[in-house]
Structure formats: C-alpha cells, structure tokens
Structure 1
Amino acid sequence: MKYTSTALLSLLLAGAGLFSCTPNPYASTNRSHKKQLKAYAKELRTVPAINPKESTLQLGDYWVGTTNFNMRKANYVVIHHTAQNSTDHTLRTFTLPRTSVSAHYVIGRDGKVFHMLHDNLRAWHGGNSRWGNNTDLNSCSIGIELDNNGTEPFSDEQINSLLEVLAMLKEKHKIPAENFIGHSDIAPVRKVDPNQTFPWKKLSEHGFGLWYDEDVVKDYLQPAAPITVLDSTGTQPALILQPLDSVLTIPPHFNPKEALRIIGYDTRDLPAAIRAFKLHFIQDEVNMELTDRDKAVLYNLYQKYL
C-alpha cells in the first residue's frame, strides 16, 4: 500500500500559508519547516521500510502492509510560560535550530495564537520530565507556551484564547480532563511554569484539569475543642480559650508521598514534588512543606485520581 505525496502532505501542511497576504518575517524558516515535512513524508512513503538488500534479517517472501494504523495521538496538554520578553522573542527562539526547543502553540499577551506545529508531530517542549510512569512527555503531549515573563499575571485576552484552544484540543483529541497539566508538574526539580498567578481553578471549571472541592476540604478541617482553664481551686472554669488551629480529620494512615505519586508527580525528590503541587493547587506560600490544609486538599484530589 503506497501513499501519494499529495495525500500525505495535505495532513502535514494543513493550514500552512493561509493566514495572511502580509509579508511574513518568518518566510525563510517556514520554508525550512516545509522542507523538513517533505523529508518526513518521503521517509513515510518508503515501502517497505526495511531494504532487503541492506538487511541480514530473514524477511518474508513479500511485503505486507497493515491497514490498521494512524498518526501519533496526543493524550496530554502541557502548559508553559515563556519566561521571555515578548511573543516575537519566543517565535524567534522556536525558529532557531540551535535552541532545540519548540511548542505546538504560542499565545501572546494580546490573545493572538500562533500554531507552530501540527498536533500530530512531536515538539520539543517537555525536556527531562516525568508524569506517572511516562518519561517521554514530548511523544504524547501538545505543548502550549504563554507569553509571560514568569512573574506577571496572565491577561484576560490570553486566557480566553487559551480556553478556546484547549476546548478545540479536548474535542479533537479526546484528552481527559485530568491530563491538562503544567510544565512544573512534569519537571518539578527544574521548572516553575506556569507561574503561581495562573488560573488553574478557572481552567478546571471549563473541564481542563482537576480541582479540589472547597466544601469538602473545609469539612476535613474541624475547629479544635475549646481549652478550659480552671481557677486556683482547680474546680471552677476561670477562662475558656478558643484555639486558632484546626483539627485535620482525614484518615490517619493517609500517605502524602503516595498520594502525590498517584496523581502523577515524580516523588523521587519529594520536596520538589510538594512545591510543584502547591504551585498548581495552593498558589500561596509555595514552599516545600505541607500544612494541614494542604494535606486536606491533597487528600481530596488524590481520591479523584484513584
């Protein structure tokens, strides 16, 4: 079974060059992009892939091509901030071969979306990362970079465009809600993006990522019993003190490290995993220690991932 170059390239080049008649400052790198796509298309059209004259394998008497296959399927979306000064800065970075970094989408502060790579191709955005047992997130994820210097809030225009892109990706690729994650989630030792102003709760309300149940977490934290101070005789209450602390009522056998691992975090460096968890779900006092409230949030989320 042999594919025509027209049929294959129609998938790889979908949408290329259709956006504007305005002179494109990236015309030369776009030509390089198309050249790489053609090279991959040519490789995919090689039938059979093993050359009998160059192989020592004992091959069958004839080539048989299966009819049951498709393109790479993304199952995760990983959200980043660029930590650069502008969208143009990031676009230049992602079009320089020496940087060896890229993403499928870049979304500017003004909400403009740049689709830099076909969803079914592998971008280089995750680096050395891990989520659950997956140690190659680049091969199964779509990377989205948000133009942000790493400390500033994200604009409404940017988040609104992000929500539109995520809705499109979720529908197109059937990505589960829990598989919308951040770069810091998959690389807790190295990364802190997107920063702690990122609206993960808002995303979860639209079906992108999980969030905890605030009422349930509140129920896990019960007010501590008042402390009665007796008078000098030791028989009459002289003062009743109301403790400021709460009592955590989650099961005593709950193991935070195991819960983080089940959610997906790489817990080989537990303090880093805790910090990444707090960056995503707590977003204040982002440090490497779990308070009672943090543990209540973690316990609630952990049950959602079971």
Structure 2
Amino acid sequence: MPKTIYLLITFFILTGCSTSTVQKDTSIKESPPIVKSVDMESPETINLDIEEWLLPKRNSRVRAAPITHVMLHFTNNALRAPQDPYNIEEIYSLFEEYEVSAHYLIGREGEIYLLVPEERAAFHAGKGHLLNYQDYHYGLNDYSIGIELLAVGMKEEMLSIMPEDIYDSIKTEDIGYTDSQYEALNQLLEDILKRNPGIKKDREHIIGHDEYAPVRKSDPGELFDWEKLGF
C-alpha cells in the first residue's frame, strides 16, 4: 500500500475532527507521563479514579460556548496493530500526531483517562449538524464533551477505514465493548451531568458521532448498547 494512502487511512481511524476548521491555541510541545488520581472532588462530583494524561494544548482550544452535549466515539489502532489495537501509548501518539482529541478515553478494563480539561474545547466532533441545533452547525466542539471508548465496530462499519483481511485478523474479544466500559461510562456520565446542568440525560443531548456526522462517521456503531446507559 503506498505510504500516502496508508497515512490517510490511519488518520480516519481517529474519530476526532480535522483541525483545519478550528482556531488552535499556541502549542506547547509536551508528552506528559500519566499522573494518577486527578482531583475532581467537590460537593457536586463523584469520586472517580481518573488518570490524567493531558494532550498538548495545540490539541484543544479555549471553549467559546456553554456545554450542552456529550458525544460518544470509538477509537483503536487496529489498522497498524490488529493484534494489539488498544495500546494506550500508541493511541495517545496518534491523537498527538494528528492534533485531534477528546476530553476522556475509556479503556477496555474501564480505566478512565482525562486527555483535555472540560473548560477547553477538544477537537472531536468536526463537521456536522444536529437537526434541533442549527446554530451548532460545524461547531459542536464548543458545546460538547467528547468521550472515546477503545473499541472496534462491526465489519461493515470498519471497511471504509481498513481492508477486510486486517479486520478479519482482529481477535473476537477485541470487537465491540466490554461490561467494564459501560460501567465506567455510566459513572463518568453521572459525574459530568452533575457538574454540567446544561446537559440533559436524554438521547437529544447524549449522542453518537454518527448522529452528528452520519456521512463521515459510524461510531459508536451498531455494537454499542444504548440500553446499558438507560436509554
């Protein structure tokens, strides 16, 4: 496969948006180590075990609007490493390299990583629109919190970003979502909603990337069970 095409496909594995349509802050080149136990405790928060692994500032910008939505995504490194698609350091490097981001990432065992502080807009939504929020056209990054889950979708959803033989080499247990991820996601959402009253706990305000950009994105996909979030 030509190198240019390979890099292009790799880029589309990430569910973040192209930064060409957003204003970026002055970048601070850093790749910080993971720091355990982010202090997110307050009378209004739940004591979650969150690991802070902040992306460089160029991967986000100052938020310019109130938070009203949460957007769910999946991400993986299956194109480059189908037998080890969830290596967190390699996925962090992809975010860093392509200057995309989300606020949180949830690992296969339910680990929660903070990548971008909520007061900043992460580059995760990209171009799209919501029927009842026309003012958000191409601008949902400012209004939303992005959550990535380490997962691989069903074959039909993934063939636009990887060859069939690569998909077929992925282990069965690495496809779809885990119970630990749903448990962690529910806890994280409860915490986010308590701190952000502008987000309502319904399917109008907690959405998938595929609902905002159905032509470009398929995540979190048909394998994601919304009923496990109470919807």
1:149 to 152, 162, 177: 152
Alignment match, 1:223: none
Unaligned runs of 5+ in 1: 1-15, 21-28, 42-69, 206-210, 212-306
SS of aligned partner of 2:72 = strand
Tell me: CA distance 1:17–1:71, structure 2 relative to 1, closer, same or farther (3 Å). Answer: farther
Unaligned runs of 5+ in 2: 1-32, 38-52, 78-84, 155-174
**Pairs aligned (count):** 149
Question: Contact conserved, 1:83 with 1:150, CA < 8 A, in 2?
Answer: no
C-alpha displacement of 1:167: 0.5
Alignment match, 2:67: 74
Structure 2: distance between partners of 1:114 and 1:17: 9
Structure 1: distance between partners of 2:65 and 2:118: 9
Alignment match, 1:168: 191
Alignment match, 1:195: 221
Select the structure of larger CA radius of gyration. 1
1:19 to 21, 33, 36: 36
Question: Contact conserved, 1:75 with 1:176, CA < 8 A, in 2?
Answer: yes
1:184 paired to 2:177: no
> Structure with the greater relative contact order (CA < 8 A, sep ≥ 6): 1 or 2?
2
Structure 1 length normalisation: TM-score? 0.44
2:182 to 143, 159, 166: 159
Question: Contact conserved, 1:87 with 1:107, CA < 8 A, in 2?
Answer: no
C-alpha displacement of 1:144: 0.4
C-alpha displacement of 1:150: 2.2
TM alignment of 1:88-99, pairs within 5 A: 88=88, 89-96=90-97, 99=98
Structure 1: distance between partners of 2:193 and 2:217: 25
Structure 2: distance between partners of 1:140 and 1:121: 10
SS of aligned partner of 2:184 = helix
Cα RMSD (Å): 2.9
As a proportion of its length, which structure holds more helix?
Answer: 1
Give the fraction of aligned pairs with identical amino acids, expressed as a percent.
32
SS of aligned partner of 2:73 = strand
C-alpha displacement of 1:110: 1.1
C-alpha displacement of 1:87: 4.5
Structure 1: distance between partners of 2:56 and 2:76: 24
The superposition leaves residues 266-286 of structure 1 with CA deviations (integer Å, 9 ceiling, x where unpaired) of: xxxxxxxxxxxxxxxxxxxxx
Q: Say which is worse superposed, 143-152 or 185-194, in terms of deviation.
A: 143-152
Structure 2 length normalisation: TM-score? 0.57
Amino acid at match of 2:95: F
Tell me: CA distance 1:192–1:71, structure 2 relative to 1, closer, same or farther (3 Å). Answer: closer
SS of aligned partner of 1:94 = helix
SS of aligned partner of 1:95 = helix
Structure 2: distance between partners of 1:71 and 1:125: 15
- Give runs of ≥4 in structure 1 deviating > 3 Å: none
Tell me: CA distance 1:184–1:112, structure 2 relative to 1, closer, same or farther (3 Å). Answer: same
Structure 1: distance between partners of 2:217 and 2:100: 15
Amino acid at match of 1:19: K
C-alpha displacement of 1:72: 4.5
Tell me: CA distance 1:109–1:139, structure 2 relative to 1, closer, same or farther (3 Å). Answer: same
